[in-house]
Structure 1
């Protein structure tokens, strides 16, 4: 078992309220229970801290935070499905095609000009409400196959589970701007309403860029959550 698998197991138990007194077992107890190394446990614990699920008190242990089911976790690279485990997430593909990388895309992906790039636009819903519009690009040399069926589900789960790739980290730029008429219609808003845009550049664990996206979030439904390390 690796740290990501252990993270998923502990996370599921937290979400199902299986730990008493809002406190996790000790490192030694987790090592014995799951037959893993101390490094694996500590990596999983750090993942849970980054996801905003737990916090550590020196000399006392690891405590579970109150649930934030209504927030998008900024520090997570697991996608919307994992950020909202208790909500129904649906995706509608608006456009999916392949384009050869021009100078701009080649610079964005740090790839050769002419590299095939998937360009995907999809509308995502939370519990039936239009939550965001994703304008995504994927390097086809890294993500060799992407279909409407896959895009209607969780692409990141497909990348991890089916392609066996390890997602590392993402650079994020957050900005606000007015939305246009088409975007307003898709999100059930008004033209020139405010829009929360997040530009993501996402890397595999080996440092290769595989995905770049601009995501427009419905300002009426979106709350952001992150953990500030004040050490």
Structure 2
């Protein structure tokens, strides 16, 4: 049998996800919620803490609990942010599934993109990203074995970038990105919960180390209703 605070958490998180409780609104006070759910303030506080941990609300001292927009996830266009780093901000609503991990000879396209010699191999990693119980991102990574000689399912479930930077001691420096709208592939339809959508957002990343060597090409394939790609731009003032 569920604890009382878990039941309250489930009810409030469901209302936030479905939009019954609007993003940027304030939740009722702890006293009001305690009255609504016929329970103690301590139980309400536990439910609110869990909501904050999982990225549904942001608690502001003296103001209350602000409801966050969980319908979309902000992905920075210009930054090099791993899914694990984004997941940490979101709390426990995410999960990575490694669908395939293969060491293989590169196709001509990937051989050219990654500047490989004829005898070099690549890793092909296929991962789905689950948020709130739906698989809505398909990441397909191609990594040069010259730089990443060994790779395991456990590493791919956790963070490839963390492994490259902290275990291999390499420095990931910059990336070129392309964003397009495309029709779903067979892989998209097999692995993603497309929910009737007939197009997906595809972000292609060409990722380089600090010596300007390209070591990774990635296709990150997103269901369009859940994601918002953000950037910050500053206009330089016109010279007087």
Same fold (TM over 0.5): yes
1:82-161 correspondence runs (5 A): 82-87=85-90, 88=92, 89-161=94-166
* Runs of 5+ unmatched residues, structure 1: 1-66
Tell me the secondary structure at the aligned position of residue 86 of structure 1: helix
How many angstroms apart in 2 are the aligned matches of 1:220 and 1:98? 33
CA contact (8 A) 1:137 1:213 kept: yes
Secondary structure of the structure 1 residue equivalent to 2:136: strand
Q: Are residue 208 (structure 1) and residue 189 (structure 2) matched?
A: no
**Distance (Å, rounded) in 2 between the aligned partners of 1:103 and 1:183:** 22
The structural deviation recorded for 1:182 is 4.4
* 3-state secondary structure, aligned to 2:112: helix
Larger Rg: 2
Instruction: State the shift of 1:181 in Å.
Output: 5.1
Provide, for residues 79-133 of structure 1, a one-character-per-residue CA deviation record: whole Å limited to 9, x for no partner: 1222343223321111111112343222110121221100111101234332310
Deviation at 1:68, TM superposition (A): 8.7
Q: Establish whether residue 230 from structure 1 lines up as the match of residue 232 from structure 2.
A: no
SS at 2:161 equivalent: helix
Distance 1:140 1:182, change over 3 A: closer
- Which residue does the alignment assign to 1:78? 81
Kindly state the Cα deviation for residue 190 of structure 1 after the two structures are TM-superposed: 4.6
The residue aligned with 2:7 is: none
Structure 1 residues 185 and 119, CA gap change in structure 2 (3 angstroms): closer
Choose 143-152 or 99-108, whichever is displaced more. Answer: 99-108
Contact 1:181 1:190 in 2 (8 A): no
CA contact (8 A) 2:205 2:218 kept: yes
In structure 2, distance between residues paired with 1:91 and 1:207: 29
Q: Say if 1:101 and 1:114, in contact at 8 Å, map to a contact too.
A: no
Secondary structure of 2:149's match?
A: coil
* Alpha-carbon RMSD: 2.1
Q: Secondary structure at the match of 1:159?
A: helix
Normalised by the size of structure 2, how large is the TM-score?
Answer: 0.63
Cα offsets for 1:20-69 (capped at 9, x unmatched): xxxxxxxxxxxxxxxxxxxxxxxxxxxxxxxxxxxxxxxxxxxxxxx998
Q: Name 1:174's counterpart in structure 2.
A: 179
Q: Secondary structure at the match of 1:130?
A: strand
Number of matched residues?
165
TM-score normalised to structure 1 length: 0.65
Structure 2, unpaired ranges of 5+: 1-67
Tell me what 1:47 maps to.
Answer: none
Instruction: Indicate if the aligned counterparts of 1:93 and 1:121 stay in contact, CA closer than 8 A.
Output: yes
Tell me, yes or no, if the aligned pair for 1:103 and 1:113 is still in contact at 8 Å: no
